[in-house]
Amino acid sequence: MPRPLEALIHLDALQHNLQRARDAAPDAQVWAVVKANAYGHGIERVYEGLRAADGFALLDIAEAERLRKLDWRGPILLLEGTFEARDLEWCSRLNLWHAVHHEAQIDWLAIHKTEWPHRVFLKMNTGMNRLGFRPEAFRNAWVRLSALTQVDEVSLMTHFSDADGPRGIERQWALFNAACADLPGERSLCNSAATLRHAASTQVRGDWVRPGIMLYGSSPDYPEHDATAWGLRPAMTLRSRIIGVQHIEAGETVGYGSRYTATQPTRIGVVACGYADGYPRHAPDGTPVLVDGVRVPMAGRVSMDMLSVDLSHAPNAGVGSEVTLWGEGPAVEGRPTLLSIDEVARHCGTLGYELMCAVSPRVAVSVVHPHGA
Ligand SMILES: *Cc1c(COP(=O)(O)O)cnc(C)c1O
């Protein structure tokens, strides 16, 4: 038998979450953001669940090529644009739309030989200070681009730094709007947090929204709202089994560095999942884990291939019990159980984004089709 650790990818959850993005931004077109190999889920694996999107957004030409191999004929947007002039050959060949965020990218376009002009998304830096032209340089970039025969339509985009928090989007949105008020072209502004929190306004919503994390069922503004509050379902379940049990006395310790000390006689369950699988090594004692659908606390340091939990609240659990690291657990008394990746991430001082992207290649993955189809 292979090691019992596996990741399940739930196609129905992806479809459902995509629909949630549509509901939150009615009339807008939806880029399904599938960068970083679909946030660790696998582009080929999520494709069936997300193919109802209007386009796919990512950064790697190699990933774009994988989408074309799946026979996706619709729009693909390179969110970071080209990294060198030669990338434009690939954009022409694979019909990729690309962001333009600095002058050299325009220079490369100006000398690019192509039969078909490219659709580009001109990016404004409205305060994130990562990629894009500053508002005062934006118009000039737009004029240069629009004059090129290599360029078809120019769309306008920006990215919010604080859509998930109290600073909000107001300042950045106002800058964007003022700097491109009289420019033609479709607009794209909203990531997941902005789509869920701010896209009720048609002006903020624009023509294209760019949800990523919400498609995978993680809440972009946890803990203010959890995934359930946003109506999102986990697209990934990471599950394993208990492979060993130890009965320890008060004062005995568990694992490397003896971080956990029992205060009473305790049953410890050892789970086949460790940091070499992508589970965070810095998960502290108390990080929640489901055993047969019951919440139990982590006890002791995560090691390369194993982690340990305190089974005091799961007296019936033993070797072979099902363990949910995050996602959907087994039903208990007819009720489904859930452990949100966001809650696990919070215990570990990180975000659902990082945990899902980190699931390692040695973890077996299966795709769960809707209704067991
Ligand atoms: C990653 C990314 C997104 C999606 O962000 P989420 O927070 O995952 O929704 C949208 N736009 C750009 C430019 C991105 O890089």
Distance (Å, whole) CA 103 – CA 98: 14
Distance of CA 72 to the CA centre of its chain: 20
Query: Tell me: the pLDDT tens digits for 93-129?
Result: 999 999 999 999 999 999 999 999 999 999 999 999 9
Query: Tell me: the pLDDT tens digits for 285-316?
Result: 999 999 999 999 999 999 999 999 999 999 99
In the 8-state DSSP scheme, what is residue 263? S
Query: Tell me: the pLDDT tens digits for 168-226?
Result: 999 999 999 999 999 999 999 999 999 999 999 998 999 999 999 999 999 999 999 99
Distance (Å, whole) CA 354 – CA 342: 10
Which pLDDT value is given to residue 270? 98
Cα 97 to ligand 1 centroid, rounded to whole Å: 16
Neighbours of 299 (CB within 10 A): 26
Ligand 1, atom 10: closest residue by C-alpha: 191
Q: Which atom of ligand 1 is nearest to the CA of 210?
A: 10
Residue 188 beta carbon below 6 angstroms from any ligand 1 atom: no
Residue 37 beta carbon below 6 angstroms from any ligand 1 atom: no
Which positions are catalytic? 35, 256
Burial of residue 346 (number of CB atoms within 10 Å: 0-12, 13-18, 19+): middle
Which pLDDT value is given to residue 187? 98
Distance (Å, whole) CA 99 – CA 47: 23
Cα 285 to ligand 1 centroid, rounded to whole Å: 32
Which of 191, 218, 232, 355 is the best mutation target for the ligand 1 pocket, counting ligand atoms within 8 Å of the beta carbon and taking the most? 191
Which pLDDT value is given to residue 371? 73
Distance (Å, whole) CA 208 – CA 28: 5
**Mean pLDDT, residues 235-241:** 98
- pLDDT at 3 > cutoff 60: yes
Residue 159 beta carbon below 6 angstroms from any ligand 1 atom: yes
- pLDDT at 359 > cutoff 80: yes
How would residue 372 be classed by pLDDT, with cut points 50, 70 and 90? low
- pLDDT at 373 > cutoff 80: no
Distance (Å, whole) CA 36 – CA 199: 25
Distance (Å, whole) CA 276 – CA 281: 9
Which pLDDT value is given to residue 2? 87
Six-digit token string for 88: 């434009």
Which pLDDT value is given to residue 1? 83
Percent of the chain with pLDDT over 90: 98
Residue 17 beta carbon below 6 angstroms from any ligand 1 atom: no
Percent of the chain with pLDDT over 70: 99
Query: Tell me: the pLDDT tens digits for 338-349?
Result: 999 999 999 999
In residues, how long is the chain?
A: 373
Distance (Å, whole) CA 331 – CA 308: 22
Ligand 1, atom 15: closest residue by C-alpha: 79
Which of 77, 160, 210, 218 is the best mutation target for the ligand 1 pocket, counting ligand atoms within 8 Å of the beta carbon and taking the most? 210
- pLDDT at 337 > cutoff 90: yes
306 to each of 270, 274, 285, 343, 362, how far by Cα in Å? Answer: 7, 4, 14, 20, 14
Helix (H) and strand (E) counts in the chain: 12, 19
